[in-house]
Amino acid sequence: MPVSRQSQRAWVALCGMALALAACSGGEFKLPSFGSADPYKQDPNVFPASYRQEVLVFLRAQLEDPTNVRGAFIAEPVLKPFGAESRYAACVRYNARSEGQYIGSKDRLAVFYSGQLNQLINATPEQCGTAAYQPFPELESLKRPGTS
């Protein structure tokens, strides 16, 4: 059944009045977000509460051989400068195997944005040289993806 122009105009006028009344109500009028968060309004420096688990998930997927990692340590995330901004970052040290052989201890920097792991990069001595490392036994007991 087609809608007449008069019905359309009445509907538009009714919606306009509803918006005007909402603006006059004294409260702040917000359109519903329907679950979508604006990434530009997120706080980039939310403390990454599950940083250990996020690093484990990432390394399990990225390491050639995630089993039998040795010498695993992690430091609690701290705000570190990145250009003109600061981000939470955690230093991670481990010795993993590649092609069946240990490749030596590596220092990596886990960088977080809005509480989530954003990237894992090679760390410089300036970034992790004074880190307060703690044992990271969860990394040493990792299994290959798809195994228990």
Tens of pLDDT, residues 50-71: 999 999 999 999 998 898 899 9
% of the chain residues with pLDDT over 90: 59
Q: What is the DSSP string of 93-121?
A: EEEEEETTEE---EEEEEEEETTEEEEEE
Q: How many CB atoms lie within 10 A of CB 90?
A: 24
Backbone conformation region of residue 23, classed left if phi is above 0, alpha if psi is from -120 to 50, else beta: alpha
Q: How confident is the model at residue 27 (pLDDT cuts 50, 70, 90)?
A: very low
Cα Rg, the chain, nearest whole Å: 25
| 122, 103 contact by CB (below 8 A) | no
Question: Please, which residues bridge with residue 98 across strands?
Answer: 101
Q: What is the pTM of this model?
A: 0.70
Q: Residue 92 to residues 4, 65, 99, 117: CA-CA distances in angstroms?
A: 67, 17, 22, 13
Please report, for the chain, the start and end positions of each structural domain, with discontinuous segments joined by +. 51-140
Please determine, for residue 31, whether its predicted confidence score (pLDDT) is greater than 50: no
**N-term to C-term CA, the chain:** 60
| 140, 72 contact by CB (below 8 A) | yes
Please determine, for residue 3, whether its predicted confidence score (pLDDT) is greater than 80: no
